Amino acid sequence: MEVFTRWHDWDTARADITASGAPVDVDALDTAVAAARRWHGDQKRPTGAPYVEHLLEALEVLVCGAEVTTPAVLSATILHDVVEDTPATLPDVEAEFGPEAAELVDWVTKPPAPGAGRQAKRASKAAYLRRLGDAPAEAIQVKLADRVSNVQTLDRMPTDFQRRYYAETLTYIVPLAAAHPWFKAWYATWSARFAHLR
């Protein structure tokens, strides 16, 4: 199973993209990474790593794995959590990155749960994941890359979380990959690798 964890910082990612010759607008990504750093600030991943590493992993998945070069998709990938996890709003994203990137961020932004309880949060998340079935292909690419970053090292997470997240990924995310050949193949390999969690 291919793992995407090389791009821990934007300098490495930028150098790799430039060296690859891929037709990627690195200047647009410079701007997106700067905005993500500004909005996410000192947020950390559960591992304690800077949050930007997750965003760069998702970008690495798209550029190096799925070979996506569409500017709005790549910018939205870097920005996909800013509305959900920071004070940034969709109008902020649209003002800096245009309506297409903002629409993609909107599709992948999980709305706040209406209630405070665990059940309400789970129901809200399930509704959000089901709604992604109606999303445009570009938004689905962003979500698929986001989830690859989150599940590629699933074995490093607590066991009870592993089982829940594996089941959620099989139920809601893997079907989204069906129309995207690279992601379909990656998730098939991933689901086999973690089949013991069924």
Task: Return the active site residues.
Answer: 84-85
DSSP characters for the chain?
-------SSHHHHHHHHHHHT----HHHHHHHHHHHHHHHTT-B-TTSSBTHHHHHHHHHIIIIIS----HHHHHHHHHTTHHHHSS--HHHHHHHHHHHHHHHHHHHPPPPPSSSSHHHHHHHHHHHHHHGGGS-HHHHHHHHHHHHHHHTTGGGS-HHHHHHHHHHIIIIIGGGGGG-HHHHHHHHHHHHHTGGG-
